[in-house]
Amino acid sequence: MEFEYDQRTQELIGQLTDFMESHVYPAEAVHKQWVLDNPTSWDAPPVIEELKAEARRRGLWNLFLPDKEHGAGLTNLQYAPLAEITGR
């Protein structure tokens, strides 16, 4: 039985891990401070839009959508390790 991820999944794991480490984790402090400074706001912190734009630029947006036209066209097996990374 084969337990290795295919090449595309392995590449996405690397790209997503890099994005999380270089952009998302550092932005957590910015997000937290914005929420503390704006406790009654229903708006999303501006850093969220910045992260979304960067994720789109890197081709890491809507990975969960199985439709290739609107998402990455991944199977559940391909998407599972990516969901694990983003859920950390």
| Residue 60's CATH number | 1.10.540.10
Handedness of CA 17, 85, 24, 51 (dihedral sign): positive
- How many domains does the structure of the chain reveal? 1
pLDDT digits (tens, 9 = 90+) for 42-63: 999 999 999 999 999 999 999 9
Residue with tokens 């559940």: 76
- 61 assigned to some structural domain: yes
- 29 assigned to some structural domain: yes
pLDDT at 2 over 90: no
- 22 assigned to some structural domain: yes
Look at 66 and 37; give whichever has higher pLDDT: 37
Domain of 30, in residue numbers: 8-86
Give the single-character DSSP code of 61.
S
| Residue 6, both tokens | 């295919």
| Residue 51, both tokens | 């992260």
pLDDT at 3 over 90: no
- By percentage, how much of the chain surpasses pLDDT 70? 100
pLDDT digits (tens, 9 = 90+) for 69-86: 778 899 999 999 999 999
- What rounded mean pLDDT belongs to the chain? 95
- 2 assigned to some structural domain: no
- 3 assigned to some structural domain: no
Nearest to 8 by CA among 88, 85, 87, 79: 79
